Amino acid sequence: MTTKTTEKTFRCNVNYQFDISLEDLQCLFCTMGQDTSYWCHDIVVGEIKQDSAGCYILEDNHEYEGNCVWVKDLTLDTKIKVEDKEEDTHEFKVKDVIKAIENIVSGKTNLNTEDCGTIFEAFKDNDLGLIDASIADSILQITTYNTLVYG
């Protein structure tokens, strides 16, 4: 007869507050534009006009990188539109990206522990240089689909 012993574990929740600057959000969108083209065509942050051929008309208050274009003056309610390779369009707001980051660092997503830790460190230390294109892609996927789909 074999006996099985189990260890008691206890869980606690820890709250931590991040201050995310406008510049950090702009850097994050820039990085998202670098490695998401394998699953999405377009990431548009804010209202950006298009010409008759569907090309974006960039003005002084716009920036872009890869397949992401954004307005420089972001707010929590700035709309984001993601068009994926399946031709589905997903719409949400900047505050939803921040909520996804909160869920990631709180362990409420399927993102691996190492990347969650990197995201936590990046925002804790105000060093978005820690977030590479792959991790930024994961943040966008979790914001878009509420889970990591392609990873």
Give the mean pLDDT of 45-52: 96
pLDDT of residue 53: 95
pLDDT of residue 76: 95
Give the mean pLDDT of 46-65: 95
**pLDDT 10s digits, 68-125:** 999 999 999 999 999 999 999 999 999 999 999 999 999 999 999 999 999 999 999 9
pLDDT of residue 4: 76
pTM: 0.89
pLDDT of residue 50: 94
Give the mean pLDDT of 130-142: 96
Integer Cα distance of 80 and 93 in angstroms: 5
How far apart, in Å, are the Cα atoms of 87 and each of 39, 44, 84, 93? 10, 15, 5, 20
pLDDT of residue 14: 73
How far apart, in Å, are the Cα atoms of 64 and each of 24, 29, 80, 105? 15, 9, 14, 27
How is residue 2 written in tokens? 């074999």
Integer Cα distance of 117 and 101 in angstroms: 11
Q: Let me know: does 48 contact 71? Beta carbons within 8 Å.
A: yes
Q: What is the mean pLDDT of the chain?
A: 93
Element (H, E) at 29: helix 22-32
pLDDT band, residue 1 (cuts 50/70/90)? low
Helix 94-105 to helix 133-145 angle (10° resolution) is 110
State phi, psi for 59 to the nearest 5 degrees. Answer: -115, 180
State phi, psi for 13 to the nearest 5 degrees. Answer: -105, 135
